[in-house]
Amino acid sequence: MMKDLSGKVAWVTGAGSGIGEAAALALAGAGAKVMLTGRRREPLDAVADRIGAARQTAAVATGDLTLAGTAATIVEAIRERFGRLDILVNNAGTNIRERRWDQLTPEGIDTVIHGNLSAAFYCTVAALPMMRAQRDGVLIHTASWAGKFIGPVSGASYTAAKHAVVAMSQSLNMEEYKNGIRSTAVLPAEVATPILDSRPVPPSAEDRGRMLQPDDLGDLILYIASRPASVCINEVVISPTWNRMYLG
């Protein structure tokens, strides 16, 4: 049975589509007030409208999380609007088409490292003071199958960034447990989200239909967020039954 999240406040990054959208809808459906963040306002407003139509509460704060000051600005907006922050879903991420070593450029490396790792650090650092003051908080980071298993699909920079996100999450648990703060790295294999369009050869509609779906991750994120304060789920590795990562 899921815990009622009424009275809780969640911040979801990359909330305009895919896993972030599904997580925001799931958390709001359980009663949490949700701050939605992404680069583009239009998709965020669409998610907020869906939440509002269900008589739930959502606010929108756009911003480029790869810029060091953006996260702190959004957290201050959360403080002013809601007065607390209980759940961070660190979901914003990106990849590039030119991801092989013989294609990588400094600009491409920076795009992937900043988009997947630096942004996650900035959001975490910004969120922690309110959580420490509450002596309670849950941090949930969307890592990747590539954050545990090294393979040719995701590219070197994405694989390195997601490995680092997993390490970041574990180090949070080592230091912040004494403040009642819990951190979880979620490592999904292929999920049918728009990031797949950035692959050199995007998967077919048939293949996407056999992958994990965003709602599968939304349900998982809600489960993690609704555990008792005495429970820390350190890491979840999840894949579709038909897992192409096992294929040659």
Position 3 in a domain: no
* pLDDT tens-digit map of 187-221: 999 999 887 887 888 889 998 999 999 999 999 99
The pTM of the full predicted model, rounded to 2 decimals, is 0.94
Q: Provide mean pLDDT across the span 8-24.
A: 97
| Number of domains forming the structure of the chain | 1
217: left (phi over 0), alpha (psi -120 to 50) or beta: alpha
Give the residue numbers spanning the domain of 185.
Answer: 9-246
Residue 4 lies in a domain: no
CATH of the domain at 50: 3.40.50.720
On whether residue 1 sits in a domain, the answer given is no
- Contact by Cβ (8 Å): 158, 195: no
122 part of the active site: no
| Contact status, residue 92 vs residue 65, Cβ threshold 8 Å | yes
CB 113 within 8 A of CB 157: yes
Those residues whose C-beta lies under 8 Å from the C-beta of residue 148, and which sit 6 or more positions away, are: 163, 166, 187, 237
pLDDT surpasses 70 at 1: no
Are 36 and 47 within 8 A, CB to CB? yes
184 within domain boundaries: yes
**pLDDT tens, position by position, 50-84:** 999 999 999 999 999 999 999 999 999 999 999 99
Catalytic residue (one of 158, 177, 223, 246): 158
In a domain, residue 116? The reply is yes
Query: Is residue 247 predicted with pLDDT exceeding 80?
Result: no
pLDDT in tens, 133-192: 999 999 999 999 999 999 988 999 999 999 999 999 999 999 999 999 999 999 999 999
Is the residue at 2 inside a domain?
A: no
